[in-house]
Amino acid sequence: MVDVAIKSTDGHPLVYLPHHDYYSDALLRDVLSKVHSFAMVGASANWKRPSFYAMKYLLKKGYRVMPVNPSRAGTEILGQQVYANIADCPGTLDMVDVFRSSEAAYDVAKDTVANMVAKNIKVLWLQLTVRNDKAAELAEEAGLTVIMNRCPKIEFARLSGELGWSGINTKIVTAKVLRPPRA
C-alpha cells in the first residue's frame, strides 16, 4: 500500500489542524479580554455588510478598530480612518480580524506575521466561514494565537450574556447583571 498525500491546486500538501475545530469559552474570553485594538482587514463602508455592523458593535463596546481596505484608504468608516494595509495602521495592534475569503487569508497571515513585532500583534482572528489551516500554521509558528471561523462580535455578545446560543437576543427579562468578557 502506498501513502498518497493530498495536494492543493498549487501542488503543496494540504494542511489540516484539528485543534481549530473547537475553541473553549475560556480561550475566547481570554483573547477578547486582552485585545483592546485591532485592524479589521476587509472592512466595508456598506452598512449591509457584516464587517460594517461588527465594527459598529465592537466600537460601541470600547475596542479601538482600525479598518484596513486598500480601495477605501484615506476615507473613513464609522468615523475611523481607513488604512491600505496593516503596516499603515498607527500605534500597536493586539489583533488582526480578517473579513476576507479563506483563500485571501493566507496573504493576510503573511502580512500579519511580517508586522507582528513592529505592531505587537498577538492574535490572528478569521471571521465566520473563513478557515485557512495553512495561514493558521504560518501564524502559529510565528507565535500568534489563531481563531478561525468565529466572529468576535458574536463571541463577545454570547460570552457577556447579550446573545443566546441560537444566535439571537432572547429578550428574556432577568435580574442577572450582564458582564462583558473583559476581566
* Residue-wise pLDDT tens digits, 41-99: 999 999 999 999 999 999 999 999 999 999 999 999 999 999 999 999 999 999 999 99
Higher pLDDT, 152 or 174: 152
- Residue-level pLDDT at 22: 93
- Residue-level pLDDT at 1: 38
Mean pLDDT over all residues of the chain?
88
Q: Which of the four pLDDT bands, split at 50, 70 and 90, describes residue 118? A: very high
Would 4 be classed as within a structural domain? no
Q: Which domain holds residue 139?
A: 23-153
Would 178 be classed as within a structural domain? no
Give the 3-state DSSP-derived string for the chain, with helices as H, strands as E and coil as C. CCCCCCECCCCCECCCCHHHCCCCHHHHHHHHHHCCEEEEECCCCCCCCHHHHHHHHHHHCCCEEEEECHHHCCCEECCEECECCHHHCCCCCCEEEECCCCCCHHHHHHHHHHHHHHHCCCEEEECCCCCCHHHHHHHHHCCCEEECCCCHHHHHHHHHCCCCCCCCCCCCCCCCCCCCCCC
Q: Which of the four pLDDT bands, split at 50, 70 and 90, describes residue 3? A: very low
For the residues 167-179, what does the mean pLDDT come to? 58
Would 72 be classed as within a structural domain? yes
Distance, CA of 91 to CA of 49 (rounded, Å): 27
Would 7 be classed as within a structural domain? no
- Residue-level pLDDT at 51: 96
Would 100 be classed as within a structural domain? yes
**Residue 105's closest CA among 71, 129, 74, 82?**
129
Would 173 be classed as within a structural domain? no
Q: Is pLDDT above 50 for 2?
A: no
Q: Which of the four pLDDT bands, split at 50, 70 and 90, describes residue 180? A: confident
- Residue-level pLDDT at 175: 55
Looking at residue 145, its amino acid is T
What CATH number has the domain bearing residue 86?
Answer: 3.40.50.720
- Residue-level pLDDT at 162: 81
Q: Is pLDDT above 50 for 25?
A: yes
Model's pTM, two decimal places? 0.83
Domain tally, the chain: 1
Q: Is pLDDT above 70 for 116?
A: yes
